[in-house]
Amino acid sequence: MSSSEDELQEQLLAFVYQTPIGICETDARGEILHLNPFCTNLVFKLIEGYDGRNIPNIFEIFGQYDPALQDTLATGVRGDGPFFLENHDLVIGRHDVRAIRIKCRKLGGNRLVFCIEDISALVELEEKRLALEKERANVSTIHALAQLAESRDDDTGSHLDRVRRYCKLLGESLLQDEEYREMIDEDFVETLWKASPLHDIGKVGIPDSILLKPGKLTPEEFEIMKTHTLIGAQTLQCVHESYPDNRFVEMGILVAAHHHERWDGSGYPYGLAGCDIPLAARIMAVADIYDALRVRRSYKEPFSHEKSRNIIVASAPAHLDPGMVRHFEMLHCQFEETYALLAGVEDDEPPQSKPSPCQDTASRSAS
């Protein structure tokens, strides 16, 4: 080999021994002959109480975590033919090393060369991916249950979609309001978008004779109807116990339990008042009331946008957070547009003698 080739070989070896992959050469018994700094660092992490004074046996190191791998290596190196091990993942779970990936090749003289990668980051990413998939599946299941609950008294089937859009309109508006800026951020708005369809999930526990009653409920029936808030919250609480870090479920519990609380404390189920009512539930209350006023129910005909708007404005400050109503007033045309887009107002809304202010504004803008 020429001097230039020698230099090139040295440069290549220097690169190999500095690479962030563990490189290790052993004899036929697994005794380590050479290893690069990255592999040295791994060895310290893989062996309990290792002080670096005695060079360990690589077979024994792996055998601590996978005895079958130790046998495979010992058997393979003794054979006459070639031996290689391709991408064998070994679970470690020590210090910051979650797992390693091992490749091995047999060289002449029954020596082995190992390439060892720390795949802890890869394992962590895979766990996050699986957790995300599981969360999405749970969200889909919970939303399906919410749709089942809603389908019992919503002929259009789009109430949940409309309500979540109203909530997003209000949430995005609150982001620009200094009064609420410390209580809300973009993540809050996104989580509310996901969680708002869960507000009436407890209706699955209300008998049809009450839920679909065409007339006014008796006091006894109304007490039963009010329990849908507790049923919904308790149902989601069971999910929360399995997934305690899931913000979607946490917010779902809040909107399910508290969206019928009133600003003056006369609501249910706990009679909370003012800012003691969670912000998500205060937003939800405006969205839910607006949509309930607009649609036909077994006990009422649909109201026009203008009538619904007037009822909501008149509800502050007794029933609704005045701040929420103020933002609703700024957004009421977008509420009407959302309802028209998703509900088919020509079928649900009674004829109006004159166009709504939103329609009138649009026509003036167009001209």
Residue-wise pLDDT for 20-67, tens only, equals 788 999 999 999 988 888 888 887 888 776 666 677 889 988 998 999
CATH code, 350: 1.10.3210.10
Residue 18 contacts residue 41 (beta carbons within 8 Å): no
Q: Do 172 and 262 fall into the same domain? A: yes
Rama region for 249: left / alpha / beta (φ>0; ψ in -120 to 50; rest): alpha
Query: Taking residues 312-338, what's their average pLDDT?
Result: 95
Contacts of residue 302, defined as CB under 8 A and 6 or more positions apart, other chains included, come to 293, 294, 295, 296, 348, 349, 350
Query: Taking residues 155-160, what's their average pLDDT?
Result: 69
| Residue 12, pLDDT above cutoff 80 | no
Model pLDDT, residue 171: 97
| Residue 336, pLDDT above cutoff 90 | yes
Q: Do 261 and 338 fall into the same domain? A: yes
Q: Do 50 and 153 fall into the same domain? A: no
Model pLDDT, residue 15: 57
Query: Taking residues 154-183, what's their average pLDDT?
Result: 88
Lowest mean pLDDT among 9-13, 22-26, 152-156, 194-198: 152-156
Rounded Cα–Cα distance for residues 303 and 310 (Å) = 11
Banded pLDDT at 109 (limits 50, 70, 90): confident
Q: Do 78 and 172 fall into the same domain? A: no
Q: Do 83 and 169 fall into the same domain? A: no
Torsion angle, CA of 71/72/73/75, rounded to 10 degrees? 80
The answer to whether residue 281 sits within a structural domain is yes
The answer to whether residue 5 sits within a structural domain is no
Amino acid of residue 229: T
Q: Do 358 and 248 fall into the same domain? A: yes
Q: What domain range includes position 335?
A: 128-362
Amino acid of residue 275: C
pLDDT in tens, 260-297: 999 999 999 999 999 999 999 999 999 999 999 998 87
Total domain count, the chain? 2
The answer to whether residue 123 sits within a structural domain is no
Q: Which of 147, 250, 263 is nearest to 200 (CA)?
A: 147
Tokens 């006023």 -> residue = 293
Model pLDDT, residue 364: 29
Q: Which of 50, 18, 45, 23 is nearest to 34 (CA)?
A: 23
Q: Tokens standing for 138?
A: 């749970």
The answer to whether residue 150 sits within a structural domain is yes
Which has the higher per-residue pLDDT, 139 or 78? 78
pLDDT in tens, 229-264: 999 999 899 888 877 878 888 999 999 999 999 999
The answer to whether residue 14 sits within a structural domain is no
